[in-house]
Amino acid sequence: MPLWAQNDTASLPAAGAAVVVEAARTLERVKQVAFPVTVVNGKELRNRNADVNRVLDALPGMRVRESGGMGSAFEYSINGLSGKAVKFFIDGIPMETMGGTFSINNIPVNVIDRIEVYKGVTPAELGGDALGGAVHIITRKDVYSFLDASYSYGSFNTHRAAVSGKWYTPRSGFTLSANGWVNHSDNNYQVWGNTVEVADENGRPIAGNHKYRRFNDDYRAISGRVEAGFTNTAWADQLLLSFTLSHQHKGIQTGRTMAFIYGDVRYKEKLLMPSIRYAKKNWLVRGLQVDLFAALNRVEGSTIDTGSNKYNWAGAVITSGVNGELNGIRAQKSLYTFTDHTRMAVAHLGYQLLSGHTISLNTNARFTTRKGSDAIARAEWTIPFREPQHLNKIISGLSYQAQLLNGKWTNSVFVKSFAYTAEANVYDYNGGQQKELITYRTSKHTWGVGYGTVIKPDANRQIKFSVENASRLPEAQELLGDGNTILNAPMLQPERSLNMNAAYIQRIPLGKQELNLEGGVFFRNTSNLIWLGEGDLFGTARYENINKLRSMGIEASVAYTNKKWLEVSANATWQDVRNRQRYTTSGARNIVYNDRMKNMPAVMANAEVRLYTPAAAGKRRISVYVNTHFVQSYFLNWPSLGDPATKKRIPQQWVQDAGITYAFPGNACSITVECRNLLNKQVYDNYLLQKPGKFASVQIRYFFSQVKHNQ
């Protein structure tokens, strides 16, 4: 794994030495839990013009697939399980109800303390229904006043600005903090190749490998969060009221491939979320810890498809007088808006029975109501989305952890409860001669259990094993649809998976040098996997269950550090994901039984070299890095069907990035220059959805703090 995912310390003023030591201890404690986890030190990222997707895509076993540039759709895959099977949390709170604006990739790295990535088996303390793994972002909890601001400008008129600050009074504990960010990009990068065509006056594609710029793909997003309350007092570790507001507005350039071109389609979304949090260690009695969170949020999203023209890749109008651009032959002008109202409550209780033995209980309850409206569209297929639909989830976990043999052997066992109720609408015949609105009510409850163990023979070695029988409940978009291209699917079943992981971790200290080795194997046996089905002639699709899937694989990483001037790291992952459904729903033998899963790579690898001058009082620091990312080519459809020479495939990806950072004396200010995709290669994560080529940027960051007190 990259070195910034392993380092335990950060560069802070000398007065904050105790803060640094405690942060290092926290990172080390997380790494030694009984579950497969990779920890990314956020402090090592703050001088880099990086987004979270690119950071995590470089970790072993991880794959982040994007459909374009800034603001485009993306999907995480961990050890072969992808999509909604991977859950996202921020400070222990699920992010799935916060909308697309407040997504993980929009969160600036200068507000992040660390990122924990759990692969497969996920601790019950997170309180979610993560089937394939979880990404947990922990924001900064610095116990001092500070200001951290950054701004970057890059290719395609890309701007990123972020500011984070806190005012803390140690005598009363009063705390006021705020962070915000603004992202903008024209995303007008060049695309070429298959389906990127312009016809001549006879309707035939113009010969040649022409390049065209995307012209309706701009993206703008803004978010702000303010917290006020008290921290580190005798009666509360945290009592904070917060208010979060975010908004995005973007163009929709293409459909599922670049053969579908849109010139006027837009999407906008906004989030409003007030919340309150109370946390206290040794609450009422010694050893009892409580953490309570409650929030109300409102997400409103609108898809605007009111254009009367169709466009080609040159941006020219080729047809006038059409009824919108989406939905194929079902096209109609539309102004569909959905509004989700969610009430959320999270409660965590932990109690230390005796030294080395703890028990914890976590409950997460979410109640979502979706309402839709469309002032233009009147087609009958839109009727179900105009009436209210509901999705309620309650997820609980109970865990027990025991540290034995003077802390050298840690065991954790847990049980989880997953329950949901849903009401989704369908417009169809209900035994009569006329169609009517039918409400399907579903209710499901299932259990999950798990066990994890870690053996530490000495301070430099770890042996881990974990197993979990996990479940995942359908999410709002999967079950209720989006009112445009995704139909609702009221009959969806919860996903189930048996997950197993084993790993060996070795640290070899060599004086001023250090070598870290890690190897692991994983196994997943999944049923009822929720998968977005193939689109129909109307340009719409709905989620469906794939009954049986099995994945297994190996991942390995090596990292070398010379603390004076050099860091080198590399990792590789091989995964074998296969369809294990023997018979189709009609009872016929499945011709793709035991075939490799379509649209999924088997081999991924990353490497990075970083050179730097040592950080010393009053001296300048320069850091230079070069990295590379490799993904093996893979087929869009089932590999065993059709002629391999003519089958649709996602080509091999091999991309290099480079950057240099200059930190001024005192490290209060730094300048970073980076270039991604140095060789301007044509790269894809998804079939015929080209990502940006060469991207150059410059970032300036300023950090000011008053470290006068210790944690």
**Tens digit of each residue's pLDDT (9 = 90 or more) over 603-620:** 999 999 999 887 554 456
pLDDT band at 538 (very low <50, low <70, confident <90, very high): low
CATH of the domain at 390: 2.40.170.20
DSSP, collapsed to helix, strand or coil, labels residue 140 as coil
As a whole number of angstroms, the distance between CA 212 and CA 188 comes to: 9
Would you state the pLDDT for residue 478?
Answer: 82
Four-point Cα dihedral 630, 635, 639, 643, nearest 10: -120
As a whole number of angstroms, the distance between CA 11 and CA 365 comes to: 39
pLDDT of 12 higher than 70: no
Span 488-504, average pLDDT: 88
Pairing of strands 62-66, 634-635: unpaired
Terminal-residue alpha carbon distance, the chain: 30
pLDDT band at 212 (very low <50, low <70, confident <90, very high): very high
Residue 196: DSSP 8-state:
-
Place of tokens 């076993």: 61
Q: Which of 697, 687, 664 is nearest to 254 (CA)?
A: 687
pLDDT of 430 higher than 80: no
Please name the helix (run of DSSP H) or strand (run of DSSP E) that holds residue 479, with its range, or none.
Answer: helix 476-480
As a whole number of angstroms, the distance between CA 605 and CA 654 comes to: 9
State pLDDT tens for residues 454-488: 999 998 999 999 999 988 888 877 877 776 667 77
- Work out the mean pLDDT of the chain and round it to a whole number: 87
Span 655-670, average pLDDT: 88
3-state helix, strand, coil in the chain (%, to 5): 10, 55, 35
As a whole number of angstroms, the distance between CA 194 and CA 633 comes to: 17
Tell me whether residue 457 is in a domain: yes
- Stretch among 126-135, 146-155, 573-582 having the lowest mean pLDDT: 126-135
pLDDT band at 16 (very low <50, low <70, confident <90, very high): very low
State pLDDT tens for residues 261-292: 999 999 999 999 999 999 999 999 999 999 99
Tell me whether residue 19 is in a domain: yes
Q: Which of 184, 324, 196 is nearest to 247 (CA)?
A: 184
Tell me whether residue 157 is in a domain: yes
Q: Structural domain tally of the chain?
A: 1
Would you state the pLDDT for residue 26?
Answer: 73
Question: Which residues have C-beta within 8 Å of that of residue 568, sequence separation ≥ 6?
Answer: 3, 559, 560, 561, 607, 608, 609, 610
- Per-residue HEC secondary structure of 38-82 comes to EEEEHHHCCCCCCCHHHHHHCCCCEEEEECCCCCCCEEEEECCEE
Would you state the pLDDT for residue 71?
Answer: 92
Q: Which of 180, 77, 192, 167 is nearest to 131 (CA)?
A: 77
Pairing of strands 81-82, 74-78: antiparallel
Would you state the pLDDT for residue 711?
Answer: 34
DSSP, collapsed to helix, strand or coil, labels residue 711 as coil
Are the C-beta atoms of 126 and 362 separated by less than 8 Å?
A: yes
Residues spanned by the domain of 247: 3-491+498-509+518-706
Tell me whether residue 711 is in a domain: no
pTM above 0.85, yes or no: yes
pLDDT of 170 higher than 60: yes
Tell me whether residue 45 is in a domain: yes
State pLDDT tens for residues 360-399: 999 999 999 999 888 887 767 677 788 898 999 999 999 9
As a whole number of angstroms, the distance between CA 697 and CA 671 comes to: 11
pLDDT of 69 higher than 80: yes
pLDDT band at 13 (very low <50, low <70, confident <90, very high): very low
pLDDT of 20 higher than 60: no
How many other CB atoms are there within 10 angstroms of residue 668's CB atom? 13
pLDDT of 2 higher than 50: no
As a whole number of angstroms, the distance between CA 513 and CA 41 comes to: 19
Of 34 and 610, the structure prediction assigns the larger pLDDT to 610
Would you state the pLDDT for residue 563?
Answer: 80
As a whole number of angstroms, the distance between CA 706 and CA 711 comes to: 14
* Backbone phi, psi, residue 614, to 5°: -60, 145
Would you state the pLDDT for residue 345?
Answer: 96
Place of tokens 């410059």: 698
State pLDDT tens for residues 171-199: 999 999 999 999 999 999 999 987 888 88
